[in-house]
């Protein structure tokens, strides 16, 4: 379990440059030696929340801006007709891996660090419909 000192917030656990968990309490099965790092950031008065839709032409995302520390933030994805949200993920510059943070079109959280979020959007599949993609 990672506990932040006053003036800091927990960000994630990494192994090398790969994010392995976004939860302060990280449980895993020991299968060998591992080197894990708990990452923290210094608390600030404002944070930048950025976001994108992926693929970008499948919908739009709203709610991204600078927020005061502790502010309630709600980001929303509006998928185009025929598309739906798969999940929201959080990523970090310079690190591989990500954390799924929500599967709802609206995701709410408290601003306690800079965040980079991606709404993964997929085509809706209708029940009983088989889709064939033919290459000429």
pLDDT, one tens digit for every residue, the chain (136 residues):
999 999 999 999 999 999 999 999 999 999 999 999 999 999 999 999 999 999 999 999 999 999 999 999 999 999 999 999 999 999 998 899 999 999 999 999 999 999 999 999 999 976 666 666 777 6
Domain limits of the chain?
A: 8-123
Distance CA 17, CA 10 (A): 17
Residue 133, pLDDT score: 74
pLDDT in tens, 21-44: 999 999 999 999 999 999 999 999
Nearest by Cα to 101 from 63, 65, 75, 66? 75
């Amino acid at each position: 379990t990672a506990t932040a000192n006053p003036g800091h917030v927990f960000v994630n656990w990494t192994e090398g440059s790969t994010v392995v968990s976004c939860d302060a309490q990280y449980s895993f099965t020991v299968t060998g030696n591992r080197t894990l790092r708990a990452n923290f950031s210094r608390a600030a008065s404002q944070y930048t929340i950025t976001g994108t839709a992926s693929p970008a032409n499948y919908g739009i995302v709203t709610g991204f801006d600078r927020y005061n520390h502790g502010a309630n933030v709600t980001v929303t994805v509006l998928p185009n007709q025929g598309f739906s949200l798969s999940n929201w993920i959080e990523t970090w510059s310079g690190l591989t891996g990500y954390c799924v943070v929500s599967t709802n079109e609206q995701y709410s959280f408290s601003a306690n660090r800079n965040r980079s979020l991606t709404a993964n959007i997929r085509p809706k599949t209708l029940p009983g419909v088989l889709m064939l993609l033919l290459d000429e």
